[in-house]
A and B are shown apart, each in its own frame.
Chain A
Amino acid sequence: MKFTWFNLMPWPYLADDFRQKNRSVWVDIDSTLYDPVRGHDVYNDYLDLLEYADQVGFDGVGINEHHQNAYGMMPSPNIMAAALTRRTKNAAIVVLGNSIALYNPPVRVAEEFAMLDVMCGGRLVAGFPVGTSMDTNYCYGQIPALTREKYLEAHDLIMRAWKEDKPFAFNGRYTKLRHVNIWPKPIQNPPPIHIPGGGSVETYDFCLDNTYSYSYLSFTGYIRAKALMQGYWDRLTERNEPDESPYRAGFAQTIIVGETDQEAETMFREHVDYFYNRCLHIHPGFADAPGYRTIKTIQSGALSQYAPNMGDLSHLSWKQLLDDGYVVAGSPDTVREKLEFLAKSLHVGNLFCLMHVGNMPVDKCKHSTKLFAEKVMPKMRNLFPKYENDTRFWCQPLARRATPAPVDAALKTRIPVAGE
């Protein structure tokens, strides 16, 4: 198994009555609720936590892209990834990912991912989401019915920009470039690619066509995910693919570990409530712009996880959240047992561990993270021995990687800046 410690980077200061006074956490959220001075500490804490996850031995540290969203404060994940290249040592930097239809021109993604891969010595795992409708259509104005065509064109351009050794002309419908010739190029060419999907048939096929890993990044947990992931594996069988390696798939799960089941509840419940009650409060009118999902996908019955009847989870008790699988929480043994069931029932080798939840403070998050790393992860490592040599979906770092120079002790006396 590969374990990626994931942080959505939520704003932790939404008021108790946020749900009553605001219609959405996303797209048209009241921007005066954000305080950049507090935000300075929040970003610092979140980067500390990602670095901590590397120190305690997670395989990857994960970040993603959202816009105008109070539970996902990374409009530019590549900036966070760049910060992580310096102080993390071993973990893959999993950028899940860049919404490639939103970059103009999309060679920007080829360039920035190449920079990141070079900076971190080949530790990049790259993600290419179509992006949620909230981000892609309502915040970034892409025409819903044309989004997928633009996405596929951007994908072709990025892959060619990485692979081709001579300058080439790209005459696309959405991007026209006479001289494509990116510099630098990535160490891993191409880096392993993961595609976050929400159940569209087209995305299953896209992953299988290109040998990309399919990731379901859900907040509704492993029990509800069964039908969707099974759809992917059924498609694989239908297409008679050569193997069913669990690394062809990934899943995101909210995970909380305490010393005991009781501690997990008492220590973390308020932060889980914060996430499911305040952070997932999304105006249903932003959930699914008409034309964003294909007719085939709607007919297959895959309702958006943000659709009105799914969105309001605020009434769920702790027991329901656990019983229904939204959250995996408890002692290390409890968590391991549930996650083994998750990994086997969904057949996923890449687990994106949502270990920071809602407004969880740093010390508590470290407590849960450390217990997971020490008492859960080691026992789950070899869950899929048959596929332990499947390297297609994970990064291949350089054996010798450069180390940032230590802070020079002689420069301890800081030179004052003007005005001090």
Chain B
Amino acid sequence: MNLRKIKTRHVETHVLEGGSGPDLLYLHGAGGVTLEDPFLNALAAKYHVYAPLLPGYGASDECPQIRDMLDVTLHTFDVAELLGLKKPILAGHSMGGMMAAEMAAIAPSEVEKLCLICPAGLWLDEYPIPDIFALLPYELPEYLFHDAEAGGKMMTAGMDFSNLEFLKAFLVQNARQLGMAGKLLFPIPERGLRERLYRVKARTLLIWGDSDKLIVPRYAQEFKKLIANCELVSIPEAGHLVPLEKTAQTMAALARLG
């Protein structure tokens, strides 16, 4: 995987790029994505993968002009155009899935293959999604993983919160990333997608971890109901971070899109 910088009208954006095969545009979740990400590297074995980092993520500049869902959707189209992509497979995880679904609804003729991995974007009063912005770091693993203990170790490897410099850098990164994510997810991760999903024409694959405790599998049924051409693959013993916890199964599911 390599790092590439492009400049949209508003902001310098970093894109992780690598692999060969069909073009695939991957949109990361609220936690971001890095060059070392195992799922991204697995994707690169089969696809030419492009993973743009949203403003505030990694080394991408922050962008005060990007304020809402439409801004983010158009920004991502701008990025795809600058990368020279023509109808890539569009995949997104969690918040990235919400963005991918939005793009497919806004420009249905531009998106032919869509992969939504436990996407955000809908809200059911009976199944309130936990407030990730009020969770403490040590509380996250139980919501994100089927195996919270192993997941927790994966998340905190190399972190030393007793080191003040590390703590400050962590707080800055958190503010940059989740500050951006909050524009789409705070205080409730819903921005009207339900009213627009009828427009999606893409062949859509929905991937969900059976043990997802952040956006529970009931939401998979809701997305399936609202998107016309939609297939659901449920993956056992996987939580919200299904691409990390069950990388091979997620890849196998994705292959169904062709």
| B172 and A295 within 8 A (CB) | yes
Instruction: Decide if A285 touches B182 in the complex (CB within 8 Å).
Output: no
Q: Is the CB of B133 within 8 A of A289?
A: yes
Chain A contact residues: over half helix, strand or loop, or mixed? helix
Q: Which residues of chain A in 122-149 are interfacial with respect to chain B, using CB atoms and an 8 Å cutoff? A: 137-138, 141, 143-146, 149
* SS of B interface (majority): helix
Is there contact, CB below 8 Å, between B133 and A290? yes
Decide if A36 is an interface residue (CB 8 Å cutoff): no
Find out whether the CB atom of B62 lies under 8 angstroms from the CB atom of A290.
no
Residues of B within 8 A of A406 (CB): none
Given A149-B64, A289-B182, A290-B177, A298:B172 Cβ within 8 A: yes
> Bound complex: CA of A138 vs CA of B188, how far in Å?
11
Q: How many residues of B contact A (CB 8 A)?
A: 25
Residues of chain A within 8 A of B175, CB atoms compared: 290-291, 293, 295, 298
Identify the closest chain A residue to B30 (Cβ): A290
Residue of B nearest to A140 (CB): B187
Within 8 A of A (CB), among B43-65: 62, 64
Contact B180 A145 (CB under 8 A): yes
A284 at the interface (CB under 8 A from B): yes
* Residue-wise interface mask of A (246-284) relative to B, using a CB-CB cutoff of 8 A (1 in contact, 0 not): 000000000000000000000000000000000000011
Chain B residues with CB under 8 A of A286: 134
Instruction: Verify A295–B176 contact, CB threshold 8 A.
Output: yes
Report whether A301 and B168 are in contact in the complex, using a CB–CB cutoff of 8 Å: yes
Q: A138-B134, A146-B67, A301-B168 are in contact. Are A290 and B183 (CB under 8 A)?
A: no
**A311 → chain B closest CB, angstroms:** 12
Question: Which one of B135, B178, B179, B187 lies within 8 Å of A138 (CB-CB)?
Answer: B187
Judge whether A32 is part of the interface by a CB distance below 8 angstroms: no
How far does the Cβ of A305 sit from chain B's closest Cβ, in whole Å? 15
Give the Cβ gap from B166 to chain A, nearest Cβ, in Å.
14
Interface centre among A141, A144, A283, A286 (most CB of B within 10 A): A144
Q: Which of B171, B174, B179 contacts A145 (CB 8 A)?
A: B179
Say how far A300's CB is from chain B's closest CB, in angstroms: 10
Considering the chains assembled together, what is the distance between the CA atoms of A144 and B179 in angstroms?
7
Check B186–A144 contact: CB distance below 8 A.
yes
Which residues of chain A are near B187, meaning CB under 8 Å?
137-138, 141, 143
Q: Which of B64, B136, B139, B182 contacts A290 (CB 8 A)?
A: B182
Using a Cβ–Cβ cut-off of 8 Å, how many residues does chain A contribute to the interface with B? 22
CA distance A44 to B214 in the complex (A): 45
Nearest chain A CB to B103's CB is how many angstroms away?
A: 21
Residue on A with the closest CB to B171? A298
A246 nearest CB across to chain B (Å): 32
A283 to B171, CA, bound (A): 17
Q: Report which of B67, B172, B182 forms a contact with A144, defined as CB distance below 8 A.
A: B182
For residue A293, which residues in chain B have a CB less than 8 angstroms away from its CB?
A: 175
A residues near B177, Cβ cutoff 8 Å: 290
The residues of A that contact B134 with a CB separation of less than 8 Å are 27, 138, 283, 285-286
> 8 Å CB contacts to A: which residues of B101-145?
131, 133-136, 139
Residues of B within 8 A of A144 (CB): 133, 179, 182, 186
Report the separation of the CA atoms of residues A144 and B168 in the bound assembly, to the nearest whole angstrom.
Answer: 19
Residue of B nearest to A174 (CB): B67
Chain B residue nearest to A299 in the complex (CB): B172
- For B186, list chain A residues within 8 Å (CB): 137, 141, 143-144, 289, 291
Which residues of the partner chain B approach A149 to less than 8 Å between Cβ atoms? Answer: 64
* Chain A contacts to B: CB under 8 angstroms: 27, 137-138, 141, 143-146, 149, 283-286, 289-293, 295, 298-299, 301
A-B contact list, 9 entries, CB within 8 Å: A144-B186, A145-B182, A289-B182, A290-B175, A290-B181, A292-B179, A293-B175, A298-B171, A298-B175
Apart from A284-B136, A286-B134, 5 more pairs, CB < 8 Å:
A138-B133, A141-B188, A143-B186, A285-B136, A295-B175
